[in-house]
Amino acid sequence: MSNTIDRRQFLRSSAMAAAIAAVHQRAFGSASALPQPKMTGIVWNKAPCRFCGTGCHVKVGVEAGKIVAIAGDEKAEVNKGLLCVKGYHVGGILYGEDRLTQPLIRRDGKLVPISWDSAITVIAERIAKNPKGFAFYGSGQWTVAEGYVAQKLMKGGLSNNHIEPNARLCMASAVTGFISTYGVDEPAGCYDDLDACDVVITWGNNPAEMHPVLFSRLIDRRSKGEKLQLIDLGTRRTRTTEHADHYIQFNPQSDLAIANCIAQQLIANDTYDKRFVEKFCAFRADPDPASLFGGPISFDDYKKSVAEYTPEYTAKISGVPVAQLKMLGKLFGTRGVKITSLWCMGMNQHTRGTAINRLVHGIHLLSGHWGTPGDAPTSLTGQPSACGTAREVGTLCHALPGGRIVAEKPHRRFCENHWNLPVGRINPKPGYHTITMWDKFCTPTAEGGDIDTLFVQVTNPGQSLPNLHKLYKAKEGLDDKFLVVSEIYPTATTELADLVLPASLWVEKNGIFGNSERRTQQWFKMVEPPGDARDDAWMTIAIARKLYDMGVEGMQDKSGRFLFHLETPDGKPYPVWNWDKYYNDEFNIDRALYEEYRGMTTWKNKDVAPYDELVKSRGLRWPVVQQSDGSWRETRFRFSEFDDPYVEKGKEIQFYHSTSKDDRAQIWFCPYEAPPEMPDETYPFWLCTGRVLEHWHTGTMTMRIPELRDAMPHTYVEMNPKDARELNLANGDIALLKSRRGEIQLPVWFGGRGTPPRGSVFVPFFDETLLINDLTLHDYCPVSKEPDYKKCAISIRKAPPEKAAETTPPPTP
């Protein structure tokens, strides 16, 4: 009893110490030296949060092998001691009652236990039988090492490029936007821009719910008396709108017209930044069909192209009043004011995703609102290592580590040399992107479905893919298809899995993530995984080793050594495939794999920091360059001479990976085009999907945390109250939603957090019992191949009483 009291008192003291430290940080801008209360048995260590791409650091308190406390890390520049509602419950994700603890194989329709060795053998035999029919599907939640070994197994070992991260579904348009504009991926600026800007524009973005710590950082500036204007450009009112000075509501897809309208006004009013454009920019447009790099055009061509996007013309397309469009044009034409644009899925999950990304970069470049702190176009990521693993390690089907691509011979040769592989091992043809990969897997082999074995790690495609009936559920009954799923809990994906592998989670393993602002963050294993759960990186290496033992040629390097040959510091080969030796005091495998990868990061000046520097820090933003005194310096603002060591002296701004090879960024013209599916008489409503504050993505983790699950127990359809009344729907009534692809019944909610305009509804996708992706469209951007989850046409009506009775009870708004 007294232990309980002591412990509770300790938790209260720790909580107050953390709160005081955070108050000090916010009031005075530096961490307090207040000591953490001491209690025997509790060990604190640092880790990045497991959820979104913000990259907040948490302090993890472990006692007797279990996480007992989570605190915001006041030493972390990202979050300065703060966490969001998900972040402060992150420790609970390990302790859901239904954690998967043993490998399971489906026999006669039921999952039954199988040994690890047998499970690995089953996978290896499937791969060996048809290596070209094997595909690997991971995510932006893979640690760097996990993504790296998957990449190396597929591209370096099997000469097979059918590997994708789920980041194709969320960040691919940002990638193609950055590459086609600057010649290299990822934001030039960083979160410091949020502390320096005068105006923040959120483009179809709701950071108040999706990136709350970053939003809190903005609101905090207002609390200190700083003048900060917030302009919310969106298709529905959200919690972000509540804090906005201006809310600009536009018709779905018309963001392209708005961006072009800003450019039109900058030129027509002669307020664009001539000096900046002449020194640092070139112009470009898409040929037909669209391509990543397009073709050069002149300024006059560009001027002619945007000329039709007058405020009056754009108002007709977008529904935005002329006065608001002129306000935006005038704002970008004003020197001295610092403008930061933020976006996430609203711009990326878009059939014109690459185009709208290019256009937002373009208006910043054209207006010269670029390259000094506070003037920046900055994309935010939804996953903790979408940047670090999907983009930097290059786990997309066309990519190789460090910004390289499989289609380029010198890039392949570099990787083959780095991995000590024979020349020609890496296949020059890009693999299947996510939509095609799943389509091929869910299509009968006799009808051209040439993917027969698919390994899923760290993601839940059975819930998150669009058009689920076609791209996931069609797998059922295809007896020659084999789905392997590494997971922490039962999910919509394990429902159809043929083999389920129990995975370690977050601080149950060593790891490294890379966040939205190019910050690489490291943590150590702190607790043991439950039962027989194991690391995803180990699974991949163990499969490779089994293939090696079976004599599969690609599992050897050109010296005949195992593909994942690692040596201890004293030069002895290490049995990295042996789980009993995977963690030990003498040899850190995560460090060894990361250091092998690090050697591939300098070509595109993405120099990630040495592992040992990451251990000492709360993350470092690349390029991290060694100084003459031996220290390592991170880079906050890329391409700007005042901060980026790779910019030549006197250049001021240098886009040193320019696609036009002249150090210039590209200002693109991309026309507005109508979306592929629009409301009509049969399907008269727009459907937009997304997240909510309490749940992260498909809810696999957050639905196991009682506090988060109880706060938002199931999904709903958010409606405009006038539409609801017209359809005779009251709050809590069950509505039947139908699209051309599927139907679903959901409780109606209006007057809650968000308000869509008339003719439009919003549905969160976190609920695995109510799969909204049965309805969504799988049309995608022709360049990024990222599908559009934000716009499709549906019908809505009140569910018949007998059907409504079968549906989950409504939420209590």
Partner 1 sequence: MPVAGLTITLAADEALASNAITEMSSQHEIVLGRVDGRYMAAVMDTPSPSRSRDLHGWIESLAGVDYLDVVYVGFDPDPPDAPAPQPPISSTLPSP
Active-site residue numbers?
86, 170-171, 345, 382-383
Size of the site for partner 1 (CB under 8 A): 71
Residues with Cβ < 8 Å from 223, sequence gap 6 or more? none
Separation CA 677–CA 789 (nearest Å) = 12
DSSP state of 392: I
Told to check if 19 binds partner 1 by CB under 8 A, we report yes
Pick the binder of partner 1 from 48, 53, 55, 72 (CB under 8 A). 72
DSSP state of 605: T
Separation CA 529–CA 100 (nearest Å) = 10
Shortest Cβ 709–partner 1 spacing (Å): 7
Binding piece for partner 1, criterion CB under 8 A, among 59-67, 245-253, 511-519, 628-636 = 59-67
Pick the binder of partner 1 from 38, 65, 98, 627 (CB under 8 A). 98
Pick the binder of partner 1 from 101, 660, 745, 755 (CB under 8 A). 101
Told to check if 107 binds partner 1 by CB under 8 A, we report no
Binding piece for partner 1, criterion CB under 8 A, among 278-286, 375-383, 471-479, 494-502 = 494-502
Told to check if 23 binds partner 1 by CB under 8 A, we report yes
Task: Scan residues 513-542 and list those touching partner 1 (CB under 8 A).
Answer: 531
Strands 229-234 and 199-203: parallel
Angstrom distances, CA of residue 595 to CA of 314, 400, 588, 592: 51, 16, 11, 5
For the chain, what is the radius of gyration of the CA atoms?
26
Which among 378, 91, 363, 372 has a CA at the least distance from the CA of 211? 378
Shortest Cβ 306–partner 1 spacing (Å): 40
Pick the binder of partner 1 from 47, 52, 70, 437 (CB under 8 A). 70
Pick the binder of partner 1 from 105, 111, 201, 563 (CB under 8 A). 111
Told to check if 28 binds partner 1 by CB under 8 A, we report yes
Binding piece for partner 1, criterion CB under 8 A, among 142-150, 418-426, 490-498, 668-676 = 490-498
Q: Are the C-beta atoms of 607 and 627 separated by less than 8 Å? A: no
Binding piece for partner 1, criterion CB under 8 A, among 82-90, 563-571, 609-617, 717-725 = 82-90
Shortest Cβ 14–partner 1 spacing (Å): 6
Q: Which residues partner with 761 through β-bridges?
A: 687
Task: Scan residues 728-767 and list those touching partner 1 (CB under 8 A).
Answer: 767
Of all helices (H) and strands (E), which one includes residue 63? Answer: strand 57-63
Task: Scan residues 219-238 and list those touching partner 1 (CB under 8 A).
Answer: 219-220, 223-225
Angstrom distances, CA of residue 459 to CA of 484, 495, 696, 701, 712: 12, 14, 12, 11, 21
| Region of 791 on the Ramachandran plot (φ > 0 left; ψ -120 to 50 alpha; else beta) | beta
Q: Which is nearer to partner 1, 84 or 158 (CB)?
A: 84
Binding piece for partner 1, criterion CB under 8 A, among 106-114, 547-555, 582-590, 612-620 = 106-114
Q: Which is nearer to partner 1, 718 or 768 (CB)?
A: 768
Told to check if 207 binds partner 1 by CB under 8 A, we report no
Q: Which is nearer to partner 1, 11 or 128 (CB)?
A: 11
Q: Which amino acid is at 394?
A: G
Told to check if 501 binds partner 1 by CB under 8 A, we report no
Q: Which is nearer to partner 1, 60 or 796 (CB)?
A: 60
Residues with Cβ < 8 Å from 382, sequence gap 6 or more? 52, 53, 140, 170, 171, 210, 344, 345, 691, 697
Told to check if 41 binds partner 1 by CB under 8 A, we report no
Shortest Cβ 771–partner 1 spacing (Å): 11
Separation CA 639–CA 371 (nearest Å) = 7
Pick the binder of partner 1 from 18, 150, 169, 507 (CB under 8 A). 18
- Listing DSSP states for 129-158 in one string gives H-GGGEEEEE-TTS-HHHHHHHHIIIIIIS
